[in-house]
Amino acid sequence: MIALSLAEIAAVVGGQTHDIPDPSVEVTGPVVRDSREVAPGSLFVAFVGERVDGHDYAAAVVEAGAAAVLASRPVGVPAIVVDDVQTALGALARHVVHRLGATLVALTGSAGKTSTKDLIAQVLRRKAPTVFTPGSLNNEIGLPLTALSATAETRFLVLEMGARGIGHIRYLADLTPPKIGLVLNVGTAHIGEFGGREQIAQAKGELVESLPPAADGGVAILNADDPLVRAMASRTTAKTVFFGESGEADVRAENVRLTDTGQPAFRLHTPSGCSDVTMRLYGEHHVSNALAAAAVAHELGMSAEEIATALSEAGSLSRWRMEVTERPDGVTIVNDAYNANPESMRAALRALAAMGEASRAKGGRTWAVLGKMAELGDEALAEHDAVGRLAVRLNVGKLVAVGGREAAWLQLGAYNEGSWGEESVHVSDAQAAVDLLRSELRPGDVVLVKASRSVGLETVAQALLATG
Ligand code: ATP
Ligand code: MG
């Protein structure tokens, strides 16, 4: 964080200082909520959780070097006491980002926020010091903590924003007002909670409404391939830039293909030039994510060549997203168990099919080990059925559907599409899937593991990797 005195912090958050002998002492270290992350000069933020009360750690964090605690009651060590710690944290973040010399880039969407945020960070940091959301810390606590980790050297601050309902993105964008706002897509993630796609679009579009007008440098970067995102152009006075595979997009991909290892390759077109990209990441959905990142980088003055090189070298920074590992015995495990929705299921199956083309020559087969896609509301049956059918159409060798009725729907889709009998298996849980695969896998096989977060299918990938 940029150095601020305890007196200044107390004033910004409207708090009372308690047990602070010298209010001119500065917070110089990170602002943290986890006592294990405290460093000398830290500000420790004491949240009251369901199981843990941060206030209980006050003495220990000061002992470890924290300058003070941001708390909701006096704790007997230096503290700034406020009514509501979360509101205070937000106010502090807002104050600090106004003083930073950094350009704020915020992004939201139904799928691919973390992947795209990681891509943007890996491209921008080639140009100047960049701070970005670690993992998926995209809510009202993670976002200010990330913003507060920026320093005076930071030039780009890249923030993932998650929306759980109307007003949520507006709140986040008010804490850390972005200059560049990117909307990736409006899918069906959390559709059960929102009520429908239009409501999701309404909530995500709050990001572009929050941007400054074009004359003040505001830029809305929108997915031209997604009609609900494209329509958001009418909700902003910022400059609009479109990315996508459609011919009208400002930043677009031509000659998109998957290499025989399942990695996307394309020719990147920007308004100032073209360059070829071959990604290290797997799955064609990353083309859209890469174009979004390219549009951001282009706005921030990078050339097509610089962007293409960075995109071609970018790796995954977040785990369990299309993590490809080859075992010593030649079996390849593709762990995409972080999460799943219909769009990403299709993309992952297509990547598996492309990898299968290459492995077939060596006698290998492809396996899709899939579990349920959560939060689909009324569309659940049709979407699981469609994924089962797609596995057949893509020539996947075997489908192992894991779990309850959604798994049954996956298997039924495969049965109805291709009269699949033995080619698809329905098992009740992850352990059963592991037992089956352990006895069946042979060198050259490629295994995709994917389901919604709540299914926890990464255990299957991990067990298979441990046996190899
Ligand atoms: P969360 O809401 O959990 O933070 P997120 O939006 O940050 O999710 P990621 O973590 O990047 O998304 O990816 C989640 C899943 O969606 C992964 O399985 C990934 O393969 C898939 N995915 C990534 N990008 C896209 C995309 N552009 N379209 C569809 N699916 C995608
Ligand atoms: Mg995320």
Among the bound ligands, the one closest to the CA of 264: 1
What is the pLDDT confidence band of residue 358, given thresholds at 50, 70 and 90?
Answer: confident
User: Helices (DSSP H) in 100-139: which residue ranges?
Assistant: 113-124
CA 162 to chain centre: 9
Mutation test residue for ligand 1: of 113, 263, 336, the one with most atoms within 8 Å of CB: 113
162 lines ligand 1 (CB under 6 A): yes
pTM recorded for the entire structure: 0.89
If pLDDT is split at 50, 70 and 90, which confidence band does 317 have?
confident
Q: Judge whether residue 99 has pLDDT over 80.
A: yes
Model pLDDT for residues 185-235, shown as the tens digit of each residue: 997 656 666 678 889 999 999 999 999 999 999 999 999 999 999 999 999
Neighbours of ion ligand 2 (CB under 5 A): 113-114, 136
Which residue of 108, 110, 114 sits with most ligand 1 atoms within 8 Å of its CB, as the best mutation to test the pocket? 114
**Which atom of ligand 1 is the closest one to the Cα of 340?**
18
Question: What distance in Å separates the CA atoms of residue 396 and residue 43, rounded to the nearest whole number?
Answer: 52
Nearest to 81 by CA among 122, 115, 45: 45
Is 335's C-beta closer than 6 angstroms to any atom of ligand 1? no
Give the strand order in the sheet containing 332-335: 323-326, 332-335, 446-450, 366-370, 398-402, 424-427
Residue 193: per-residue pLDDT: 66
pLDDT confidence of 468, banded at 50, 70, 90? low
Q: Is the CB of 347 under 6 A from ligand 1?
A: yes
Task: Note the pLDDT of residue 188.
Answer: 65
8-56 pLDDT, tens per residue?
999 999 999 999 999 999 999 899 999 999 999 999 999 999 999 999 9
Q: Compute, in angstroms, the gap from residue 369 CA to the centroid of ligand 2.
A: 22
Measured CA to CA, the distance from residue 302 to residue 270 in angstroms comes to: 10
Give 407-456 pLDDT, tens digit per residue. 999 999 999 999 888 899 999 999 999 999 999 999 999 999 999 999 99
Residue 285 CB less than 6 A away from ligand 1: yes
Helices 304-313, 285-299: inter-axial angle, 10-degree rounding: 140
Calculate how far, in angstroms, residue 93's C-alpha sits from the geometric centre of ligand 2.
20
332 lines ligand 1 (CB under 6 A): no
Lowest mean pLDDT, pick from 86-90, 100-104, 307-311, 314-318: 314-318
Interstrand relation of 180-183 and 103-108 (parallel, antiparallel or unpaired): parallel
Q: Which pairing describes strands 251-258 and 239-244: parallel, antiparallel, or unpaired?
A: parallel
- Residue 387, pLDDT above cutoff 80: yes
% pLDDT > 90, the chain: 84
